[in-house]
Structures are given as C-alpha cells and as structure tokens.
Chain A
Amino acid sequence: MSETIPEIAFNWVDKRFRTGPPVLENITLTIEKGEFVSILGPSGCGKSTLLRMIAGLTPLSAGEIAVNGMTPVNARELMSFIFQDATLLPWRTVERNVDLGLELEWATRAVREQKVREMLALVGLSAVAGSYPRQLSGGMKMRVSIARALATRPSILLMDEPFAALDEMTRDRMNEELLRLQREHRWTVVFVTHSVAEAVFLSSRVVVLAPHPGRIQEVVTVVLEPERTNETRASESFEGEVSRVSKILRGAHNA
C-alpha cells in the first residue's frame, strides 16, 4: 500500500445513544504513525465504542475523527479490526478463514494463495491450514484471526481485548509476538484492554479513560526501553510503570 503511514485524530468527539447518559465526552486525541497505543479503563467506560468509532462501525454524536485525513469509513482499506473472540467462520478451514478478507476484496487467485501461505507461516500455523476452527485451541484461533487481519496488508490494527479470553502464559507469548511483528512492519496499533500490565508491556502510550461519562483521564507515556522481552516483565522499571499506571487508573475510577 502507500508509503505514508496514517495517523488517527479525534477532535472533540462525543457519543451518546438515543437513551441513557452519554457514553463518551470530549475525546480529543492524536495517534501518530507507527505508535502502539493502549486504551485502558474500567468496564463500561466506552473503550470498545471508541475503537469501533475509529473503524466507522459506530457513528459519532458530535466532533470528528480523521484516519489518515479521511473519514473512518473511507479509510477502512487501511485498517483491520480484531475482535475479542476470534470470530472465525466455523464452516471454513483455517486457510479459507485467512483468505476471507482477500476474497471479499476481490484479490486475484495468485495473490490470495501467496498471501495466505505467507500469513500462516507468519503466525506459525502452516501445519493446520486444512483444519476447522473447532479443532483448534483458543490461542490458535486468535492467531488465525490475526493472520486474517494481516492478510489484507493494513497499516492500522484495531484490537478489542484480543487476548482477554486466553490463559496468562499464552497471552504473554502472544503479546511478545505481536510486539515483534509491530516493530517489524511499523503498524499503528490501537489496543483496548483492561489489563494494566498488558497495556504497559505493549504500548508507547496508554490512554486511561474515566467512566460515566467516558472521558480521557490521562495519556501516560510509558518510560521503558522500546525493545521489550520476557525479561522486561521481571524488571523493576516495568513494575514501577505498572504501579504508576494502576494508580492513575484507580484515580480515574474514583473521579
């Protein structure tokens, strides 16, 4: 795709549904190209809504969002959305699932075959290409979901608590892999989570939301080496950052 890596800009965005109190208020936020930003907050603070608005899946009530200077719907080509559950099609094999986005976007057969093979190798699932989703573990399903999202060569990944359903060890490993791939491909990632440790480990910045109505409490820049491995988790500076962000999150809770 294009050489210019896009950014995401929220400009005084509000969201309220027809009934009930406002969900999000006065969201102004800029995400730079190649950044890994986490959205952190208690449940019900509008994290997912915020992410869905970037994708153009939920309309705004006020303000505007620009993705690489375009409206979210027009910028969908640049983005892939990864849901909390793997959302695989159970009637398709692993490789046909990875193929889905390319197929819907009318890619040529040659491109599709090559891309699918490449993506399966990337997430380490070449051996189960012909299996059906029900034969896979939760972690493997999520890998398929990620492979599918990457196959259409997005420059922005929108991830809605993608690893929340996985056990801790699998989750840690997936975090490391994701980070490695992100560094390599320079994707812009917006990552919704309710885990402070996950947010700190992955992100260059953490957006902490306060609830009722959802608003930005603070945008925290994570002070850690950009190179992060399993050792990072055991380091003192990591623990320091986790407790710093936790404190802000608690403050947001009581705000």
Chain B
Amino acid sequence: MKGHFLTALNALAVFAVLVGVWQAFAWISGTPAYVLPTPLEVAKAIAERHATLVDSLLISTTSAAGGLALSIVAGVGVAMIFAQWPWLRRMLYPYTILLQTVPIIAITPLIILWMGSGTWPVTVVTFIICLAPIIANTTQGLISVDENLIDLFLMHKASRAQILFKLRLPHAMPYMFAGIRISAGIAVIGAITGEWFAGSSRVGQGGLGYSIMYASSQLQTAYLFALVIAATVLGFSFFFMVMSVEWYVLHNWHESKRNARAE
C-alpha cells in the first residue's frame, strides 16, 4: 500500500516539474500562443469549452468501445472456428496477417466512401484494426493445449464441444487478454483516425479526431492540446479497464497475476 502511494507521489512530482518547465519555457521564450500555449492557457481552454470537449470525448469513446467490443466477439468467434477446423485455419490464417499489415490510413477513405460519414464507419475502422491481434492471440491459446489434457478429456468421452468450452477456451483466456490489451491501445487510435476522415460538424458526430482536425485548421492550439490530453486519457482508461478485467478473471490461477495478488 505504502509502495503504491510513493509511486503515485513520484509520478505526480514528475508531472508538476514538467508542467513547470513548460510554463517557464513559454514565458521566457515568448513563443506565440498559437505555436505553444502555456499550461494555464490550456487549462483555460478546457474550462471554457468543456461541454464540447466532453461531447467529442463521448463520441470517440462510443466508437472505440463499440469497435473493440465487436472485434472481441468476432475475433474470439473466428479463433474458435480456427481451433475446431485446422484445415480452415491453414487456409485463412494468412489473411489474418494481411489484415494486420493493411495500413488503416489507406483503407479508411474507402470505408467512408462506402458507408458515408458519421459514427458507424468510425466503429468499422476501429473494428478492423482491433481484429487481428485478438484472432492471432486467441487462436494461439486455443491450440496450445497440453496433449495429455486432451487425452484426459477423451478418456471421459468428452465431445468436441466439451473440449472447446471446458478446456481450450479457459486455457486461452490469458492469451485472449494479451490480444485484447494490444487492441484496446489501438482502438482509440483507430477511432481518431476514422473521425479524421469521417467526422462531421453535425452535432453529436464530431468526435476527438474531427475536433483535432478542426482546431488545428483554426490555429486553436490551446484547445488542440486539450483534445490531445483527452485522447490520451481515453487510451489510458481503455488499457486500464482491460487490465482490471484481466486481473479479476485470472488472478486466482494464472502465474502472471500471482505477484499482483501477493502484494
């Protein structure tokens, strides 16, 4: 407990020093606010425009969370199919890799072209970039089960469904969470990239990505900083949330979570 407190205190001290240095630099160098606003100006921008800021943040959160959730459902589903039918896996697995290597920036305009603007295409963009890590990791977990355990299940005349749900799936949990952790990080990037292209000024459709574009074109640099902070907070919360769920699900039995419990 004491250790956690000290760590938090240290992190806070580092933050205070950085902000101080930034404020001092802006003052001394006399850089214009549209190039480098001071922390105070950023704080003022947040205070004045917090309503629109929160709106944008909520829109991006919805798209990112929706895309991530869809990719978990679809990714785990595909991985289960891959585990049950190895020939299908051998046939389709290369395309999972392909999915990962397609630059999202390049296909986003296509998706907008097909789906129009708004939050749905943004969710789809997020879904696409989140999918590959979840498929790859979960599949790995489902197929790396100890042969003896499979024999044990066979001795009890287990069906393929029983082996999948009572053996492969629980065994794959730590792998699946590793994949979701990666995807949670990139989900926010996906949403912002999508909004960059698909965002619209219509109320309730802008999102952080659109607002970043807009603020930058208007040289509202202090607000731009506020948006960057919001995006960072969003990414961090996603990561933290996945970590929490992972700990909750795995801490009783999985090696990697033992130390967290021992503290």
Contacts and interface: CB of A to CB of B under 8 A. Distances in A.
Interface of A: 52, 55, 57, 76-77, 79-81, 83, 85, 87, 89-92, 100-101, 103-105, 132-134, 152
A28 B173 CA distance: 45
Nearest to A93: B252
B178 to A, nearest CB: 16
A83 B151 CA distance: 10
Nearest to B167: A89
A81 B155 contact: yes
Contact of A91 (B148, B157, B173): B173
Nearest to A90: B253
Contacts, number: 56
B91 interface: no
B152 interface: yes
B151 A57 contact: yes
Contacts of B153: 104
B156 A85 contact: no
B263 interface: no
A79 B155 contact: yes
21 contacts: A55-B155, A76-B154, A76-B156, A77-B157, A79-B155, A80-B155, A81-B151, A83-B148, A87-B146, A87-B148, A89-B149, A90-B253, A91-B173, A91-B252, A103-B166, A104-B156, A104-B162, A105-B156, A105-B157, A134-B253, A152-B156
Nearest to B258: A134
A135 B241 CA distance: 28
Contact of A104 (B148, B166, B171, B258): B166
Contacts of A52: 151
Contacts of B258: 134
Contacts of B254: 90-91
Residue in B148, B162, B254, B255 with the greatest tally of chain A CB atoms within 10 Å: B148
B interface, size bucket = 20 to 34
Contacts of B146: 87
A91 B253 contact: yes
Nearest to B163: A104
B158 interface: yes
Nearest to B150: A57
A87 B149 contact: yes
B86 interface: no
Nearest to B153: A104
Contacts of A134: 253, 255, 258
Nearest to B159: A104
Contacts of A81: 151-152, 155
A76 B157 contact: yes
B255 A57 contact: no
A152 B253 CA distance: 25
A141 B224 CA distance: 58
A61 to B, nearest CB: 19
A174 B223 CA distance: 72
B170 interface: yes
